[in-house]
Structure 1
């Protein structure tokens, strides 16, 4: 899927410099950033779900320990 991304001038310049330093395209850096974000937020979602499940599972014990 194609999409347009509008960056501020300072973001564009910083991205261009980083791409030159790393010897990769700006596109490659942006794809990596998206992948990193998706992986990080997927992990956070799993942790929250597990915490909710464990809290529910141990709710009675946790209440008694208050």
Structure 2
């Protein structure tokens, strides 16, 4: 799916420099960064839910009655 990404000038410059250092495209780096962000957010959410369930198990049990 096509998407246009407008970056602040400073971020675009840093991305351009990083892409040149790694001999990769800016798009490849951006796609990887977005993927890592989404995976990390899912893991954080899952971890947070698990923590609430374990810490508040008794309260949740009573609320379910």
TM-score category (smaller protein): 0.7 to 0.9
What aligned pairs does 1:1-66 form with structure 2 within 5 A after superposition? 1-59=1-59
Aligned length in residues: 59
The CA RMSD measured in Å over matched residues stands at: 1.1
**TM-score, normalized by length of structure 2?**
0.82
Is there any run of 5+ residues in structure 2 with no aligned partner, and where? 60-65
- Which of structure 1's runs of 4+ aligned residues deviate more than 6 A? none
**TM-score, normalized by length of structure 1?**
0.81
Is there any run of 5+ residues in structure 1 with no aligned partner, and where? 60-66
